[in-house]
Chains A and B, each alone.
Chain A
Amino acid sequence: MHGAGKAPAAITIPLWIWVVAAAGGLFILLPLAAMVTRVNWPQFVPLITSGPSLTALGLSLRTSAVSTVLCIVLGVPLALVLARGQFPGQRLLRSLVLLPLVLPPVVGGIALLYTFGRRGLLGSSLSVLGIQIAFSTTAVVLAQTFVALPFLVLSLEGSLRSAGTRYESAAATLGAGPGTVLRRVTLPLVLPGLASGAVLAFARSLGEFGATLTFAGSLEGVTRTLPLEIYLQRETDPDTAVALSLVLVVIAVAIVGLTFRRTAPKLLNSGGTRDA
């Protein structure tokens, strides 16, 4: 038996590592604490339940939910193809799928604008059909999906790779066709990875700012999501901005707690590109 989870006590870490690590931890915690000290607690509930705040929060939750579904629909096949397929250009495809992760979201927004905008690559054809995507709620969802998709693909592909193909081979020799293997073996086995990927994608969608602002604008009730509302209020009503920020922090903490409670995917380091 291997003593998993028990770190050997004998390993000693140099003292200076502890010091730097503590500084790193503080660097993350201190700004959050600073923000919490600025919260106008007596007015907290009225501030976050004001009309514009609730509208923005509702829009954020709805669009993030839809973009998460879209991420699952597009991301599961992408992850399967990347993890199980063998085809020329596979590595290139992986790099491209991960591109939105390292791309400044504002650049993603511009790219989307030139794709789905009125004079964009697809947008000009779509507008002939009477479909306007840019600066609509659909644009919000597309912007969120664009930036969140790599999170789901990366998380799921990792799960697929670590699950390996041995169970799938066993299922095949028991007479299960590819569809049955996918439905009854592969997906159930990677369900935790899929769930954590979906939660991360949801979180990324919820925090989306740059691409949304560029591609969808900031129309109250239509495209003004919670991060946009916070940014807007920051000038005129800092109390509201801080209160709403705290709401996002609480949601983020809840999501992180929910996702990494049992198994921590190797994705944690790439979650840093919150926004531009």
Chain B
Amino acid sequence: MTHSPETSRQVPSGQVPSGQGTSRQVPSGQGTSGAVTVRPAVFSIDAAVADRGMSVSLELSDKETVAVLGPNGAGKSTLLGLIAGLLRPSSGRADLDGRVLFDAGTHWVPAHQRKIALLAQEPLLFPHLTVLDNVAFGPRSAGASRGDARRAARHWLGEVDALGFAHRRPGQLSGGQAQRIAIARALAAEPDLLLLDEPMAALDITVAPMLRKLLKRVLAGRRAIIVTHDVVDALVLADRLVVLDAGRIVEAGPTRLVLERPQSAFAAGLAGLNQITGTVTGHGLVSEDNMSIAGVVDDAAVPGEPGVAVFRPGAVSVFPEPVHGSPRNTFPATITDLEPHGDQIRIRAGALAADVTLSAAADLAPAPGSIVYFVVKAAAVVIYPAKTVRNDEAGPRP
């Protein structure tokens, strides 16, 4: 990944933040200023679903794959349903390569005319059709003759290494095989945008890596939005990561940057980092509950502005008594939970976590409820500016 992370996070797009509801501005104007001869190869949505508390704004350039992560109930599936045309927005607009998909109140393109395929958690292969006819379903619906549709189906079955199953019924397939066929079926419809709703969630854990590899191959150079709960999917499959929480995009950016410098607690959790938010000072950060944290302050962080401090649980040492020394941070912590973590023990104290070796844990004899001191060297704490992420920052890479 060679793009500059900072620029992509700060795209000045001139969009109204979608929190304000009915923005009627066309959110796809970038790069086509003035000229109307070139249709913008961009997907954009800026819409709200009032009764589900959803309000999002998102853009995808051609051939870009975006991963959408977020806690349960964040509205990830609602977002896909909205884009696919299975759900009506209460306000807003969406465009796909210059075609209006919906413009609340005036335009509504039904799902079957959008050229947006949706791959769900379950394969949903039509049980009464053979594998070949399942894959041929899209081309047939688009008006291809039976022969042409089957030829196309064979091609796509070949793409997912499933030609051998062509004459089977879906009932004769394993979960992983069925999902492969479902991928071929979605691709055979030649969608302009492919939506994937946790495509590996319903699969056996041993099958998922193979399917991920397959998706990596077929998603290359294809525009797709993949909803997932697995950060590995985001790393392997997506160019960009969007964190959705309570119906809003709370964080967006190149996958690596979001994981290195998470802004939201959810993203910090994904990256496995301890995160403390507060106000930047000369030497560190003052947390919201008035705790001073010393750390390596990023050049971009301005004292007095909101900031984020992160450090790895592995960088934390745990002591029964306070330890003092100038370049160290000491936090009193009440242990809430203990769990094995690789060859170490993860000690949780509220939102913070520390990884200690088994022998250290044995010396400490920690138990939930006991008070200990988390100590982390200032050099292990990275402090960077907090951004009030607006939904319009979820734009495509320039």
Chain A positions within 8 Å of B, measured between CB atoms, are 166-167, 169-178, 180-181, 184-185, 188-189, 191
Contacts and interface: CB of A to CB of B under 8 A. Distances in A.
Contacts of B122: 166
B169 to A, nearest CB: 13
A173 B141 contact: no
Contact of A166 (B120, B137, B141): B120
Given A169-B84, A189-B128, 6 more contacts: A169-B86, A173-B85, A173-B189, A175-B189, A177-B112, A191-B128
B126 A175 contact: no
A170 B189 CA distance: 11
A181 B120 CA distance: 18
Q: Which 10 A-B pairs have the closest CB atoms?
A: A176-B141, A172-B111, A173-B118, A174-B138, A175-B141, A188-B128, A170-B124, A174-B189, A172-B112, A177-B112
A197 B260 CA distance: 60
B111 A169 contact: yes
Given A172-B86, A172-B110, A175-B115, A180 B124 contact: no
Nearest to A171: B137
A171 B110 CA distance: 12
B118 A166 contact: no
B223 interface: no
Contacts of B183: none
Given A169-B86, A172-B85, A172-B86, A189 B141 contact: no
18 contacts: A167-B126, A169-B84, A169-B86, A169-B118, A171-B112, A172-B86, A172-B112, A173-B117, A173-B189, A173-B191, A173-B195, A174-B112, A174-B117, A174-B138, A177-B113, A184-B126, A188-B126, A188-B129
Given A166-B124, A167-B126, A173 B116 contact: yes
B151 to A, nearest CB: 17
Nearest to B194: A173
B141 A174 contact: yes
Nearest to A172: B111
A22 to B, nearest CB: 39
Nearest to B135: A174
Contacts of A181: 112
B127 interface: yes
A167 B124 contact: yes
Interface string B184-204: 011001010001000000000
B142 interface: yes
Contacts of A175: 112-113, 115, 138, 141-142, 189
A176 B186 CA distance: 12
A6 B116 CA distance: 42
A174 B86 CA distance: 12
A178 B141 CA distance: 11
Contacts of A170: 118, 120, 124
Contacts of A166: 120, 122, 124
Given A173-B84, A174-B138, A174-B189, A189 B112 contact: no
Contacts of B113: 175, 177
